[in-house]
Amino acid sequence: MVGAVVLTAATALTACGSGSGSSSASKDAITGTIRVSAQTDQPYLQDAANQFEKLHPGTKVQLVESPSNTYQTTIRAQLDAKHAPDVMFVWGGAGNAMATQQLAKAGMLADLSDRPWVKNMGDTANGLVSYDNKVYALNTYANPTGVFYNTDMLSKLGVSIPKTFTELLSFCKDVSSKGIVPIAMGNQTGYLNTEVPLELVNTLIYSKNKNFAADMASGKEKWTTSDLWKSSLTKAHELYLQMNDAKCFQANSTGYSDQQARQLVAQEKALGVNIISAAAQGVQQANPKIKYDMFEIPATDNPDDTILTMNTGASYAVNKDSTNLKTAIAFIDFMGEDKQLTAASNAAFGVPYKAGPNTTVMDGLKGIEPLYKADKTALWATNFWPNAEVKQVMIAQDQNLILGKTNVTDAVNAIQKAFAGS
Amino acid sequence: MKKYTWRTGVLEAVMILVTAAFVFPLWLLVSVGFRPSAEVSLNPVAPPSSLYLENFSTAWEEGGLGPAFINSIYITAISVAILVVVGACASYYFSRSRGKAGLRWFAIVAAGMMVPFQIGVLPLYRVITDLGLAGNPVSLIIFNAGIHLPLTVILYTGFMRQLPAEYEEAARVDGASSFQTFWRIVVPLLLPVTGTVIVLDGVSIWNEFFTPLLYLGGTPNVTVPVQIYSFVGEFNTHWGQVFAGLLMASLPILLLFFAFQRYMIRSFGSGLKG
Amino acid sequence: MVITTETPPRSDTRPRKAVRGGAAGARIPFWFAVPCLLIFAGVVAYPTLQGMYYAFTDWTGLGSDIHFNGIDNFVKLFSSPEAPEALGHTLLIAASVTIIQNLLGLLLAIGLHSKIKSRNVLRTLLFAPVVMTPVIVGYVWQFIFVPGGPFASLTESLGAPVGGLNVLGDPAFAIWGIITIVIWQHAGYSMVIFLAGMQNVPDELLEASALDGANAVQRFFWITWPLLRTPTLINVTLSLISSMKLFDQVMATTQGGPGNATQTLSTLLFSEAFLYNNYGYGISLGLIVFILIAVISFGQMRLFRERD
């Protein structure tokens, strides 16, 4: 302590002291500086900031972006020291340290229930960022998840998009027999290696109970006791292993990172790759000559069962203790305008949460448009999980499953145990 | 020893081969910096096909590396200067004081190396914000000066213990004060280890990412690694620019090292004999 | 080291080890150490002690809801499957990295503490990995280790099964992949400290013993090696400590996987404290890391001193 003070005095002369944070803006005007923090890859955020500054002369938006792990850590430290940004990127649900419901529970976020955009978002989106019936964040877009594939190669190989699980297995056998990887997987990267099982789970569950998420939220179903959940999780892992046996994925998939899996498509060694659509841009840029589209992995033999799994894109919340609350909320409201929401989803290769009559789906995602427009979508189960450990356990178990180091029963039991531990 | 014999020639050839194998991953790094990101995605390990410099200009201009370099140089230079002065003085006491007091204090400071840095992150950041220093480069200098003290003191004390005490004793006999003895006799002998301290502390401070982001993120005072990391995306990363940025960031440190390690050898020899 | 006693240094211009204390030590005032101790107290000691308190609480890391819960976190830690497993990985990494990195660093230093013409350039090149940030180093090595990549092809041509070794994707090899990356990145660090130590070896002594007919190996073991005691101690301590705290290289490559095959105490600490809302529990892992490092370093310093 004393050392710090001594040193401060010693170096203060040479330092250019520029205080950060909100300037002394008057409480009622939209003016002054706001700090906005987000994890990287929010291409739209800088645009929004520039437009907002133009719209409200006298405002300044200071943007800080950092990779997800460091992002969560720095913001947690800043919240603890009462030096958090005015507007921050948050995740829906309760599944990590910067998830809306965790932060709202700790009393860190401003109540945004009365904002104009709330009524346009739909229950799914608002449910994710609500705590005690109050809305705490703006969801800007969602990202469809599925197999992003090379359309020319598909016709060249003479195969067609599988509509049922049986078709999927023969699709995999056909494609791999020609020396091409059907669906590249970056199983080294944690969040990715649980994607396929969780997509299968969604189709298995929601085809039986369309209100599963709502039932979980209301307490009618519980993760620890739901038979539908546990049987679907088990089934999904069995199907996952069947896919692996049918050579749907490349050999040694646990040795590939997400990026290396995507490169297999760009290099035309793989027909497709299972991704969150936000990563599609990277695949396109790596090989712009290829035309792409996306399909969702079927999990049953009834094509109508298939549900499109969606990933929650960026959500933004306001720091309750912001010294420039008015401007911070104005910025959120600005991002919540329809035009801005469309721009945000386009920039991140996503779609708005709710398909309006005029909503268009970008090229490259046309294949999943029917499911999206028919509202046959569901969010990742992870969004509704009570803690982050379940996901971590599932990542490890699914890697071991692919490596043949465990079996489905043990893997599912380990995952269920993590739910019970919360 | 002084002559370059055939044995030296064999050694030279062996060392060049070993180094060549060792720097293969570095070569990958350099080649990525000189290729368009799309091309890298297609084949990460291919050599550059032409002299492609756009990554460097994009990283420099869009990444705002220019101002970040100035911040990094300023923060690193002052932090290292404080570490050298404070660390060398303290180590003189630690290594030469009579009895066990010096050794005990040394052990306490050295034990600071052993603490996982995560333990103190929140309390220290609270102090920094309470002092109103968040966003101010001084906060980072204070952090660096403290967090690298254990290593600095371990290096200085270790090397001072190996220095013969006779010169100092002789100076004492001639009536020099503690400070005069330290300044005239000990400091010149410390040059080689000071080179090591400057390089090792300098490297860790220059590369530090998390704390500069936490303390300075969002201000115009951020350092080079913080800027480079803004190219690393959750889903899409511009590796070409990351590597170009990294090459530019590494160059000053490598030049510093190159300069210092030549200097180290000469100064020590003459310091001892002169 | 045993050979030390058999080597009577011919010219005794420099004693092998300075005497601690003695006449010169008598009057060194305490204020030489005051600035150091003040900064250390403010930046390291105070926050660390303050932070350690959380190891005995159930704090999530957010808000003011903190309850003292005694040693609950430590009970949980030793009864969980993850922490002991991570401890095993951490110790394996620490032991392998410490031994191999320092041997390699020493060999490089010996080779480059010579009259070869390219020594300055080679030293700089060998030191270059130290300057690179671990995330980037991890990225580069992912491409070396990827199935079908350069390393896999090399192992395939040396007789490994078709496709070669899947280093980072196979639980049997992944930890060795990480160890390789760490050693590659830090061997230059050890080398620099050994090189700095070798400047202490007087040329006259080496020349004299060369005239006496000692060959290069004998000269090294009789004269250079005994004088490298301090650099060795420093190097071993530093590599031990940094590998016990290993975090970045793991996060940049395997993130603890496949399965939990490369989970270390530090990656577990990080996840628990900052991602899972178990701040108190995470910090209790940090405390374990600290105690382990302290015990091992202390034991190792004793070992060095006894050989003195």
Query: How many CB atoms are closer than 10 A to CB B17?
Result: 10
Q: How near does any CA of chain C get to the CA of B59, in Å?
A: 15
Looking at residue A41, its pLDDT comes to: 84
- Residue carrying structure tokens 């590249």: A184
Average pLDDT of every residue of chain B: 86
- Write out residues 376-415 of A within 8 Å (CB-CB) of C: 387-389, 392, 395-397, 399-400, 403, 405
Q: How near does any CA of chain C get to the CA of B220, in Å?
A: 22
Q: Based on the domain organization, do B45 and B173 belong to the same domain?
A: no
Q: How near does any CA of chain C get to the CA of B84, in Å?
A: 11
Burial class (CB in 10 A: 0-12, 13-18, 19+), A47: middle
The residues of chain C scoring below 50 in pLDDT are 1-25
Pick the CATH number of A143-311+363-420 from 1.10.3720.10, 3.40.190.10, 3.40.50.1370, 3.30.1490.20: 3.40.190.10
Count of structural domains within chain B: 2
Cross-chain Cβ contact B264/C199 below 8 Å:
yes
In sequence order, what are the residues at sequence separation of 6 or more whose Cβ sits closer than 8 angstroms to the Cβ of residue A1?
A: B127, C41, C42, C46
pLDDT tier at B114 (50, 70, 90 boundaries)?
very high
pLDDT tier at B213 (50, 70, 90 boundaries)?
very high
Residue B33, domain extent: 1-52
pLDDT tier at B166 (50, 70, 90 boundaries)?
confident
CA distance A49 to B221: 20
Summarised one tens digit per residue, pLDDT across range A204-256 is 999 999 999 889 888 899 999 999 999 999 999 999 999 999 999 999 999 99
Looking at residue B250, its pLDDT comes to: 87
C236 in reach of chain A (CB within 8 A)? no
A251 in reach of chain B (CB within 8 A)? no
Domain of B189, CATH number, reads 1.10.3720.10
Looking at residue B274, its pLDDT comes to: 25
∠ Cα B86 B89 B90 (to 5°): 80
- Residue carrying structure tokens 């003011």: C64
Contact A351, A373 (CB under 8 A): no
Q: How near does any CA of chain C get to the CA of A121, in Å?
A: 28
**Going from the N-terminus, what domains does chain C have, and what CATH number goes with each?**
92-263 (1.10.3720.10)
Which of C60, C153, C166, C176 has the most A C-beta neighbours within 10 Å, making it the best mutation to test the interface with A? C166
Q: Rounded to the nearest 5°, which phi and psi values hold at B12?
A: -60, -45
Which of C12, C30, C39 has the most B C-beta neighbours within 10 Å, making it the best mutation to test the interface with B? C39
- Residue carrying structure tokens 């209301």: A218
Q: Based on the domain organization, do B100 and B180 belong to the same domain?
A: yes
Looking at residue B252, its pLDDT comes to: 86
Instruction: Write the single-letter amino acid at A316.
Output: Y
Q: Based on the domain organization, do B154 and B194 belong to the same domain?
A: yes
CA distance C244 to C228: 24
Q: Which residues of A touch B233 (CB under 8 A)?
A: 40-41, 67, 282
Residue of chain C nearest B113, judged by CA positions: C241
∠ Cα B20 B21 B25 (to 5°): 100
Q: How near does any CA of chain C get to the CA of B114, in Å?
A: 6
Fold classification of A30-141+313-347 is: D-Maltodextrin-Binding Protein; domain 2 (3.40.190)
Q: Which residues of B touch A39 (CB under 8 A)?
A: 234
Would you kindly state where each structural domain of chain A is located, as residue ranges? 30-141+313-347, 143-311+363-420
Question: Which chains form contacts with chain C, at 3 or more CB pairs under 8 Å?
Answer: A, B
Contact A327, A161 (CB under 8 A): no
Q: Which residues pair with A270 in a beta bridge?
A: A181
Rounded to an integer, the average pLDDT of B86-106 is: 91
Looking at residue B253, its pLDDT comes to: 84
Q: Rounded to the nearest 5°, which phi and psi values hold at A34?
A: -125, 145
DSSP A353-387: SS--TT--PPTT-GGGHHHHHTT-EEE-GGGG-S-
Q: Based on the domain organization, do B100 and B191 belong to the same domain?
A: yes
Question: Which chains form contacts with chain A, at 3 or more CB pairs under 8 Å?
Answer: B, C
Q: Which residues of C touch A187 (CB under 8 A)?
A: 169, 258
Cross-chain Cβ contact B134/A41 below 8 Å:
no
Q: How near does any CA of chain B get to the CA of C15, in Å?
A: 6
Looking at residue A1, its pLDDT comes to: 41
Q: Based on the domain organization, do B124 and B22 belong to the same domain?
A: no
Summarised one tens digit per residue, pLDDT across range C202-215 is 777 878 888 888 88
pLDDT tier at B168 (50, 70, 90 boundaries)?
confident
Q: Is C18 helix (H, G, I), strand (E, B) or coil?
A: coil
Higher per-residue confidence, B164 vs A370 = A370
Rounded to an integer, the average pLDDT of B264-269 is: 44
- Write out residues 128-157 of A within 8 Å (CB-CB) of C: none
A266 in reach of chain B (CB within 8 A)? yes
Tokens read off for A102: 């965790």
Summarised one tens digit per residue, pLDDT across range B170-195 is 888 888 888 888 998 899 888 878 88
Cross-chain Cβ contact C289/B162 below 8 Å:
no
Q: Which residues of C touch A1 (CB under 8 A)?
A: 41-42, 46
Which of A76, A136, A262 has the most C C-beta neighbours within 10 Å, making it the best mutation to test the interface with C? A76
Looking at residue A155, its pLDDT comes to: 95
Cross-chain Cβ contact B217/A64 below 8 Å:
yes
Residue of chain C nearest A1, judged by CA positions: C42
Contact B250, C132 (CB under 8 A): yes
Q: Based on the domain organization, do B76 and B164 belong to the same domain?
A: yes
Closest in B8, B89, B206 to C36, CB measured: B89
Q: pLDDT per position in chain A (422 positions), as tens?
A: 444 444 444 444 333 333 333 444 445 689 999 999 999 888 889 999 999 999 999 999 999 988 888 899 999 999 999 999 999 999 988 888 899 999 999 999 999 999 999 998 888 888 889 999 999 999 999 999 999 999 999 999 999 999 999 999 999 999 999 999 999 999 998 878 999 999 999 999 999 999 998 898 888 999 999 999 999 999 999 999 999 999 999 999 999 999 899 989 999 999 999 999 999 988 888 888 999 999 999 999 999 999 999 998 899 999 999 999 999 999 999 999 989 999 999 999 999 888 877 788 888 999 999 999 999 999 999 988 988 889 889 999 999 999 999 999 999 999 999 998 75
Q: Based on the domain organization, do B117 and B230 belong to the same domain?
A: yes
The answer, yes or no, to whether residue B227 has pLDDT greater than 90, is no
CA distance B53 to B61: 13
Q: Based on the domain organization, do B43 and B112 belong to the same domain?
A: no
Q: Based on the domain organization, do B79 and B43 belong to the same domain?
A: no
DSSP B34-47: TS-HHHHHH-TTSP
Q: How near does any CA of chain A get to the CA of C288, in Å?
A: 21
DSSP B212-241: HHHHHTTSTT--HHHHHHTT--SS---HHH
Looking at residue C2, its pLDDT comes to: 30
**Which DSSP symbol is given to A252?**
T
**Is the fold of A30-141+313-347 the same as that of A143-311+363-420?**
yes
CA distance A19 to B172: 50
CA distance A279 to A277: 5
Which helix or strand (DSSP H or E) is residue A130 part of? strand A130-131
B44 in reach of chain A (CB within 8 A)? yes
Rounded to an integer, the average pLDDT of B125-153 is: 95
CA distance A196 to A179: 22
Q: Based on the domain organization, do B12 and B115 belong to the same domain?
A: no
In sequence order, what are the residues at sequence separation of 6 or more whose Cβ sits closer than 8 angstroms to the Cβ of residue C305?
A: none
Looking at residue C306, its pLDDT comes to: 66
